[in-house]
Amino acid sequence: MSNAITSFLFSNTSVRQTIFKNTFWITLSAGICKALRAVLIIYLARALGPTDYGKFAFALAFISLFVSFFDMGVPIIATREFSKEGAKREEFNSLISLKIVLGIATVILIFSLSLFITSSPEIQRLIWILTLASFFGQFPEIFYSLFRSKEKMEYEAFINVFQVLLLSGIIFFVILNFLSPKNISFGYLIANLITLIVAGAFFCRKFAPIKGLVDVKIWKRFLVMAWPLALTSIFGMIYGYFDSAFLGYSNQVKETGLYNAALRIINIAVLPSGIITMTFYPVLSRLSCEKEKTSFQKLFNYQMKILMAIAVFLILIGVVFAPQIISLIYGPSYLPAVSAFRVLLATTGISYLLASFSQIFIIFNKQWKYFWVTFWGAIINVILDLVLIPAFSLYGAAVASFFATFLMLVLSLFYIYKNIPVKIFSYKNNRLFI
């Protein structure tokens, strides 16, 4: 019995079993990680208060605008390429050195721009510390790309759980003994550095020693494939974090804290969409290469049904009980965020569909089309933020996100209908959606 369970959870024997196994491990790790991170952020927000938490959130939002530069979309392309037969080991080793070069260049860029985004020395220091933390935190993604391509997501799950346990322990210790935004930032830095060391050691044990080979031809080949995805990610970060960064830049520090408190709950709400699309992605990538696309369409329809059902449930529950949710989690001082939270929940429902659509663009090598979806979503979001935030603060930011996300949904449907052989509007999908 124990051998059967071990085989079922650690071996790949069939398509259904592999999807279930990967879903189990990613769901388990994501559930543990998100739960601990949620408790951590809630406790942190309550301990710091809206103003100090707003400083920390502003620094994170500014850095997040440049997070895509750390890898330029290469890990996602690596997952796709190494899922296929004939992938070469030396190519992966060369991608490790590419990741280092991109990371160092991004750190220099953020350090330089931080001198112009704020005149506050305190916030500048937060940006510097958290930038290094992001560099260390983003680096294991290149290891995860190989784990995912081999459909061994339990490895990624183990490392993620270790990271969040370590981070939680360090941050709670800092909160109880040395509470300040700067010390919290140092806690993130230490936890991410230790996690990187552990992830590297784990990779070497399960696969092969790390060799940072430099092959410009391989760099060029992967960057050529990834650059539409990289641009998409860059504009995606603008779409996702410009509102928080602009709130902080406008000296609405307390409002930044309120808005990001609502966003933290939204991040938990969108978690299932990431888990589902991540576990389906390798299998869908493989099925897309087959001449007969029936299996691909059936599996895609199954994914869509799951995503739509969860999205509707979350929106209904969240909108009705929004005041109670905010008050219970953060306390009465965060109640002004309720209206923004409700609008962001509606945006979350659209995001569930977009998660599935973005996956399709990548699988069929149409990253360029999805770039335009994200590009126009980011542009509209920035324009609306510039207009609405000065007048309506965090509520304007939430409304801007909703309309930008809705535009991205419409554009995605248009491009998929014109360029990709996948049926979005099937009889069963339409019936479920209605």
pLDDT tens, position by position, 139-173? 888 777 777 776 667 777 888 888 888 988 898 89
Quick check: helix, strand or coil at residue 357? helix
pLDDT at 425 over 80: no
Of 275, 247, 287, 278, residue with least CA distance to 263: 247
> If you count DSSP H runs as helices and E runs as strands, how many of each does the chain have, helices first?
16, 0
pLDDT at 265 over 90: no
The percentage of residues in the chain with a pLDDT greater than 70, rounded to a whole number, is: 86
The whole domain housing 186 covers 2-433
Give dist(CA 162, CA 67) in Å, integer.
22
**Distance from the Cα of residue 426 to its chain's centroid:** 29
pLDDT digits (tens, 9 = 90+) for 13-27: 555 666 666 667 777
pLDDT at 5 over 60: no
How many structural domains comprise the chain?
Answer: 1
pLDDT digits (tens, 9 = 90+) for 312-359: 888 888 888 888 988 888 888 888 888 999 999 989 888 888 888 888
**Distance from the Cα of residue 160 to its chain's centroid:** 14
pLDDT digits (tens, 9 = 90+) for 284-304: 877 776 666 677 778 888 888
pLDDT at 421 over 80: no
Sign of the CA dihedral running 289, 155, 75, 372: positive
**Per the confidence metrics, is the pTM higher than 0.75?**
no
Give dist(CA 281, CA 78) in Å, integer.
13
- Judge contact between 97 and 142, C-beta under 8 A: no
pLDDT at 130 over 90: yes
